[in-house]
Amino acid sequence: MVRISVLNDTLKTSASKVGSQSPLVAFLERSPFERASKCRCVVSLASKFCTHTTALFFFIIITTQAMYNAEKRGKRQVLVRPVSKVVIKFLQVMQKHGYINEFEYIDDHRAGKIVVELNGRINKCGVISPRYDLSHHDIEEWVGRLLPSRLFGTIVMTTSSGIMDHEEARRRKVGGKVLGFFY
């Protein structure tokens, strides 16, 4: 159980493990609206209980959930915070495939914010946790596993050549880790 209280812009957390569940997992099991109202707290919790790469991974989870929820409610814009370079690259891949219109990064000298213009094409977007390793031979298997059709949707991968979609990774014959998907 995680107890979060914000008093005078200072974050106080008290955590106690219940069984084998970590405080960060308990925080992430809350509803998306509770998490969205406490986005500032994720950075502090992640830095206390997780490694740096895991904390950045939660930024992608928050971003994809916020976009998916805003899309389902018919919103045209969504404000996402906190932001990392991985989130920006993920959004660039989505923009390249036409699933979002444009996005604007707002530097607030903290973790940053992004305003994403939605166009109504997102049916589902998500993050794969843990980030599974796959070679370029395994890409076809993951396309069948994650996407509704071979010609519909995109898997986003992080490779040694940067963050790219599964089609570009197949053309370059590089493997990597699966970040997420959208269709």
Q: What is the pLDDT of residue 23?
A: 55
Strand partners, 118: 100
Class level of CATH domain 128-182: alpha beta
Residue intervals of the chain classified under CATH 3.30.1490.10 are 128-182
Query: Which CATH number describes the domain made up of 20-118?
Result: 3.30.1370.30
Q: Whose structure tokens read 């998907």? A: 181
Grouped pLDDT means (10 residues each) for the chain, 183 residues: 36 42 55 47 38 68 96 96 94 96 93 94 92 92 92 94 96 96 96
> Whole-model pTM?
0.69
Residue 86 corresponds to which amino acid? Answer: V
Q: What is the pLDDT of residue 150?
A: 84
Residue 10 corresponds to which amino acid? Answer: T
| Rounded-to-10 torsion of CA 148, 151, 153, 159 | 120
pLDDT single digits (tens) 68-80: 999 999 999 999 9
Say how far apart CA 12 and CA 21 lie, in whole Å. Answer: 20
Residues contacting residue 11 through CB under 8 Å, at least 6 positions apart: 4, 5, 40, 41, 44
Residue intervals of the chain classified under CATH 3.30.1370.30 are 20-118
Q: What is the pLDDT of residue 12?
A: 41
Give φ, ψ of 149 to 5 degrees: -150, 160
